[in-house]
Amino acid sequence: MNDHSKNATVAAESMIRHEPSVPVIKNINWPGMRALYRKEVRRFMKVQLQTVWAPAINVLLFLVIFIIALGGSGRTVGLNGQQVHFADFIAPGLIIMGMINACFANASFSLMVGKVQGTLVDYLMPPISTGELLFALVASSITRAIFVGCALWLAMALWPGVHVTPVHIWAVLWFGLLGTGFIAFLGVITSIWADKFDQAAAVTNFVIGPLALLSGTFYSIDRLPPLFQAISHANPFFYIISGFRYGFVSAADTNVVMGSLVLLALNVVLGTLTYVLLRRGWKLKA
């Protein structure tokens, strides 16, 4: 076969169209997944004063108010037999609480606002798989939580009388990741379910807010009656905050290994549920 025939064959093969429904990208679509992740990060970074700094300042006000009201005169909190200065006790809980709120706000926004604005097709039509779509949404929400957490940590590190130097960095990273991952899956499920802003706000006000405030952020559950201690142990936010606090003060209200296993199981269950809902197109596809 001469060179002219070879060139013609190559040109003909390059013009062959792929059959419908036959995947062209048979492995992970890294460029597509990265593009969606960057889009989601740029979306909240364009208004970072509202999405990063404002939540951080709001949570920081809790620290100021509680230290002034309750943290004076060297007050300490008993935590699993260890006395921890009140400011050092409350600071890690406030950091992870701010991260939780920011993570949920981001994860519950994307698909829901696509329904409201009629731009949902921008998420469903690109050549990325369900897993890649879910990963980009969850990863961008965790990124926003990390930004808020870093802003809070820096502000608290500079605050006089507050010590937020990590003692067990692995616990800070591990429980931070498990906690924000769990919240991100919950946020994506909310985004799939909600058809308007009021519905997403209802989940924030009646689920996320109460569970975060009643999870031992401002108190040790050792001082609660047995019934309320049992209720606290049924709250997944309790394990997030307790494990994250352990990374800073080396003490926790519960066994960190058990808390880690509980959160890991919840992440697997919620992640699987979110994947199934996205794949089936529940409330997303007509």
- Interatomic CA distance for residues 239 and 232, integer angstroms: 9
Q: With a cut of 60, say whether residue 259 has pLDDT above it.
A: yes
User: For residue 132, what is the enclosing H or E element?
Assistant: helix 130-158
Give the per-residue pLDDT at 21: 46
Task: Flag the least confident range among 66-80, 125-139, 161-175, 195-209.
Answer: 66-80
The answer to whether the beta carbons of residues 186 and 143 sit under 8 Å apart is no
Give the per-residue pLDDT at 112: 92
pTM: 0.88
- Interatomic CA distance for residues 157 and 164, integer angstroms: 6
User: Could you report the per-residue pLDDT of 15-72, keeping only the tens digit for each?
Assistant: 444 444 455 566 889 999 999 999 999 999 999 999 999 989 999 888 888 877 765 5
Per-residue pLDDT band at 276 (split at 50, 70, 90): very high
Distant-in-sequence, close-in-space partners of 266: CB < 8 Å, separation ≥ 6:
182, 236
Per-residue pLDDT band at 286 (split at 50, 70, 90): low
Q: b or e along 219-247 (b: 16 or more beta carbons within 10 Å of the residue's beta carbon)?
A: bbbeeeeeeeeeebbebbbbbbbbbbbbb
User: Could you report the per-residue pLDDT of 202-223, keeping only the tens digit for each?
Assistant: 999 999 999 988 888 888 888 7
Task: Work out the percent of the chain whose per-residue pLDDT is above 90.
Answer: 58
Residue with token string 């994506």 = 188
Query: Average pLDDT of the chain?
Result: 87
Per-residue pLDDT band at 5 (split at 50, 70, 90): low
Q: With a cut of 90, say whether residue 93 has pLDDT above it.
A: yes
Over residues 155-160, mean pLDDT: 89
Per-residue pLDDT band at 2 (split at 50, 70, 90): low
